[in-house]
Amino acid sequence: MLPTHMKQASQNLSLIGRRLVAEREGDLWQEETETLPWPLARQRRLYKNFADQFIRPRALEVDKHLAEFDPWPLWHEAARRGFQTEFLPWPFGTAKLLNLASMPSPLFATALKAEEFCAACGGMALMLLAHDLGMAPLLLSGTWTGFNWLRRIYSRIRAGENIAAAFAITEPGAGSDVEETEGAARARILSRAKKAPGGYLLNGRKCFISDGGIASYITFFAALENEGVESWTCFLVESPMKGFSRGRREKKMGQKAGDATELILEDVLVPEDHRIGPERSGWALNRNTLNYSRPAVGAIAVGIARGALERCLEFCRATRLGNKRLADYQDVQIELAEMTIQLTAARALVWHCGRYRLPFQGVSAAAKCFAGDTAFAICHKAMELMGDHGYLHGHGVEKAMRDSRLNQIYEGTNQINRLALIEDAWETDFARP
């Protein structure tokens, strides 16, 4: 160690001066974890351990041989640890009260989970995480019906059944429309709910539905007959129900282990007690669900980028160029530092959302956009640093690049999210006289 290194040089300080110097022993991940309240720090370690043990080792194999992937064993491993029933505390679910009390936002742990799982594999993580998105409207509806369904579904999951949920808003002719105010007002929404004896008859198609291929419960949004999107109402559709079927499973560029499937409803009779919230409350419920989920989507991006950086770093340490390791070259170090800075900034913005008790549209959209764009850039930089090796599947970085690209698209494209931020703060900030 050179005498000019801080650790050495700080010995020359006074006793109090030495006490004011940060002594860093752990890696950056550990240091950041230490900044969390201890229940959440513990939870973060649990997520990481699970991801390292069950997700990371299979990431490349599943991406390459998708047809052979059975999601349920992994699902049950996660469920056994309580990771799939975290919206309700004991005795209904596995949310830890200390976690909920540690941060203003009750869903902060979801963001931690998303990052850790996605650092291991964006696809398998999506398969596990999309379930939370499907369940969110039940919780956010603030109704007894919603709570009761949540409780019943959680009890089946805890009993070990193959049960997952999915969130269905996107339609073949209305993608971004259902995530934006102005577009929605003029959009052609085709999913319809018609009052019928005992409940509602649902007709329509939803596309790109994450976990649509495996979900037994779908929070399905449809407009009431002869009305527009403002009449959207949320229904809990069960599979199987008569008239419910699945269409094509999309062939995606990345995040492959998490399916994106078309759902088709033809005269599906949904009982009254499957309506989540009052009639016409669906549009607000959809938007609020996105407010809660977008920080988690930001965390997905952070996780994927972190995975790319970790794998790139591994390569830079293992690869010798001339008489030294790639990581020892100054220009490589500058690139690695830049990636770390960007990643830290993206995570900071995601964690910033956790400071709000109720996440709102502007801050959620900001986290989703910034983390998504940053992750894609980091993955590309990681690929480039590795030269030709960067695009080989075996190193896992090109997969991260493919995985990360989806984060600029789903839950509203990043263009839509930017406009969502403007809309949210228009009267308070941007258009203020």
Partner 1 sequence: MSEQLSREELAAFREMAASFAKKTIAPMLAHESPDGNLEMLPAILHQGQEAGLLASPRPEAAGRETGIWGSQTLTHGPAVSAMLLEELAVVCGGVAMCFHAQGMGTLPLLRAENPPSAPENVAAAFSEAFGIPGLFTLREPLQAAPAAVETVAREAGDGFELSGEKTFVYSAGRPEAYLVFARSAANGDWTCFLVPADAKGLQARNAGARAGLRAAGLEHLRFDRVKLDRSLLLRFQVPNREAVLEQLRLNLIGLSAIAAGIARGALASARQYAGERYQGGDLIIAHPAMQTLLAESDARIAACQAGVSRACQAEGHAEVRFREAVRAKLIIMPAAAGAVTDCLQIFGGYGYMEDYRMEKRLRDVSVLKSAGGAPRELRAILAQMIQEG
List the interface residues with partner 1, window 155-174 (CB under 8 A). Answer: 170, 173
Q: Which is nearer to partner 1, 107 or 339 (CB)?
A: 339
Query: Applying CB under 8 A, does 180 fall inside the site for partner 1?
Result: yes
Instruction: Report residue 213: phi and psi, to 5°.
Output: -75, -20
Shortest distance, position 177 Cβ to partner 1, whole Å:
6
Amino acid at 313: L
State both tokens at 119.
């650092």
Contact between 114 and 103 (Cβ < 8 Å) = no
Residue of the chain from 331, 427, 431, 433 that contacts partner 1 (CB under 8 A): 331
Q: Which is nearer to partner 1, 275 or 395 (CB)?
A: 395
Nearest to 399 by CA among 368, 375, 371: 375
Site map (CB under 8 A) of partner 1, residues 244-273, x = contact: ------xxxxx-----x-------------
Residue of the chain from 6, 28, 97, 321 that contacts partner 1 (CB under 8 A): 321
Query: Applying CB under 8 A, does 64 fall inside the site for partner 1?
Result: yes
Distance between CA 131 and CA 212 in Å, rounded?
10
Q: Is 313 exposed, middle or buried (0-12, 13-18, 19+ CB in 10 A)?
A: middle
Q: How many residues bind partner 1 (CB under 8 A)?
A: 56
Contact stretch for partner 1 (CB under 8 A) within 22-30, 67-75, 179-187, 301-309: 179-187
Residue with tokens 């400071």: 355
Q: How are beta strands 199-210 and 260-271 bridged, if at all?
A: antiparallel
Q: Hey, is 371 helix, strand or coil?
A: helix
Contact stretch for partner 1 (CB under 8 A) within 23-31, 132-140, 360-368, 377-385: 377-385
Query: Applying CB under 8 A, does 322 fall inside the site for partner 1?
Result: yes
Query: Applying CB under 8 A, does 142 fall inside the site for partner 1?
Result: no
Query: Applying CB under 8 A, does 408 fall inside the site for partner 1?
Result: yes
Query: Applying CB under 8 A, does 389 fall inside the site for partner 1?
Result: yes
Distance of CA 204 to the CA centre of its chain: 26
Contact stretch for partner 1 (CB under 8 A) within 32-40, 102-110, 131-139, 330-338: 330-338
Query: Applying CB under 8 A, does 154 fall inside the site for partner 1?
Result: no
Amino acid at 377: A
Nearest to 292 by CA among 364, 223, 351: 364
Query: Applying CB under 8 A, does 387 fall inside the site for partner 1?
Result: yes
State both tokens at 145.
């019906």
Query: Applying CB under 8 A, does 146 fall inside the site for partner 1?
Result: no
Measure the CA angle with vertex 338, ends 293 and 382; round to 5°: 75
Contact between 295 and 368 (Cβ < 8 Å) = yes
Q: Which is nearer to partner 1, 18 or 320 (CB)?
A: 320
Contact stretch for partner 1 (CB under 8 A) within 83-91, 144-152, 267-275, 412-420: 412-420
Contact between 240 and 270 (Cβ < 8 Å) = no
Site map (CB under 8 A) of partner 1, residues 300-319, x = contact: -------------------x
Q: How are beta strands 320-321 and 324-325 bridged, if at all?
A: antiparallel
Q: How are beta strands 165-168 and 192-196 bridged, if at all?
A: unpaired
Distance between CA 233 and CA 111 in Å, rounded?
27
Known catalytic residues are: 411
The residues binding partner 1 (CB under 8 A) are 64, 170, 173, 175-177, 180, 182-188, 207-208, 250-254, 260, 319, 321-322, 326, 331-332, 335, 376, 380, 383-394, 398, 401-402, 405-406, 408-410, 413-415, 418-419
